[in-house]
Structure 1
Amino acid sequence: MKKKRSLEGISLSFLDVISCGFGAILLMLVLVRAFSPSISTPTPDLSEIDRKLTKLLEENQTLEKNLIRLEQIKKDQELESLRIAKNLKNATEREKKLSQEILQVEEQKQELLRQEVEIKQKIETLQAGESSVSDTVAGIKIDSEYVIFIIDTSGSMRSDWLNVLSKVEQILVSYPTLKGIQIMDADGDLLFPYQGLVWNKANLQNRQEILSALARWPEQSLSNPEKGIKKAITNFYSPDKKIAIWIFADDYQGERTVDSLIQFVDNINLVTRDGKRLVTINAIGFRTGFESSRMRFALAMRELCERNGGAFIGL
């Protein structure tokens, strides 16, 4: 019986201790919670976050655009560098070409000086009467300041076109005081119709352009220079100009008589007080022969040239 009491006493004391311990812990928790400062957790503002996020995105887009712009500027600068390099290369090539052209101009200048000396010698020879006028390339007179070429561009003349170009060039060189040039075919159509009745200047550049255009002239006229002669004398005669007309042809076809053409020219190209005419008419017969139309051309031009102070040359 004594042992049983002893066990019960020990058990009750242990439970009391445990209960008191738990109670103390609970009391401490209550006291700590009651007297501890309250910590409030702020509620996040979602609209502000969205605004900042939007701003960051916009700044990012701006940076991307600036980056793209910088890349484009870089590419443009590279292209500009290439363009400058190309222009520099072209400028160097042009400078080299210009140097060559200057040398060519100097050579042409020397050639012109040589031709000028020859022309002066011809003039002195003519003035001294040491040579017949018909032997000169330019015909009787080379004091005209304006020259008109009337050229038969028919098929028969085309076969000797290089010779035609050569004669035109020789005649142009023979006039020392030449100011204006005009070229038309046997029908009176101008080589440069868009210019109208305007004289082409007789400088070296224009002469070369005229010869080049004449070499490529596609016009094909009739084998009758009468129409061209009438247009030339009608449209270009002027009382203050000395004009030389050169007729290049190999044939004279048509029904009208030569006398009517001569009379037409006489009515316009009147004889001045000194017994001369302002317009000198010369002619070159290409591939002259005994055919009736060729003989007709030779006879007509011989009389027309003689009456107007010029010469007829048969090749």
Structure 2
Amino acid sequence: MVIITGMSGAGKTQVVRAMEDLGYFCVDNLPPMLIPKFAELCAQSGGGVSKIALVVDIRGGEFFDTLVQVLEDMEKQGYMYEILFLEASDETLIRRYKESRRRHPMAPHGRISEGIFRERERLEHIRGRAMHIIDTSDLTAAQLRGNIAGMFAEDREYERMTITIVSFGFKYGIPLDADMVFDVRFLPNPFYVESLRRHSGQEEPVIDYIWKWPITKQFLEKLLGLVDFLVPNYVKEGKSQLIIAIGCTGGLHRSVFIADKIYEYLRSKGYKANVEHRDLQHNFPKS
């Protein structure tokens, strides 16, 4: 169990998103007195909920002041936890509040600086119990996610995002969640070869036909070079999922073939990749 707390505006929302990507069950703004009961429910899940991140901060009002006592009671009951405390400089917090145009919870009708001062005083005791303290003043969102992954990831899988390659037919629409879309309708079309029309891009006759054209090899070489350049930079930026969409007219031949080629290449490079052929069912409907 990780208790996430700290200064308002220091980046707790970004941390929760990073923890969710690491497989943690996250709850925001949980009243401290409910933490033991929540921990008990998770313990009874039979391992179904084994990684928990709870955000507890001064939004809880008077309830927040019970946090230290609740944690001490949990220690006596044998529950293990870590406290992650986020902070930032006064200047950084004021700037972030100005940009978001939100009121500080400790000074809803006063100056932001007054609210920050009061909050620091109120958080002093819980900060002293923190196992991890991160100053986010000079961190980008990607750097903060990287720090969280370095602290709480169980292995080094956090260094790789999940890449999904989706083949599709333009006649059925572009995938809405695609990060990159490549149109391969310029490649020779097996649809116009009568013996290949009812076969997919995963079958040998169609594969041989598409692969025999020099333009296919030239395109794939350039596309894989682009993938080689982009993917490490997306990983470095902290992206957790990348969707690469490959489209042809019907989503049966060329897009399927190219998507499979990209998938095989990424897997050979050690990336976490999977492939989906979205529109094959339109061409081969279930009986």
Tell me the TM-score range normalised by the shorter chain. under 0.3
Greater C-alpha radius of gyration: 1
- Whose strand proportion is higher, 1 or 2? 2
TM-score (norm 1): 0.25
TM-score (norm 2): 0.27
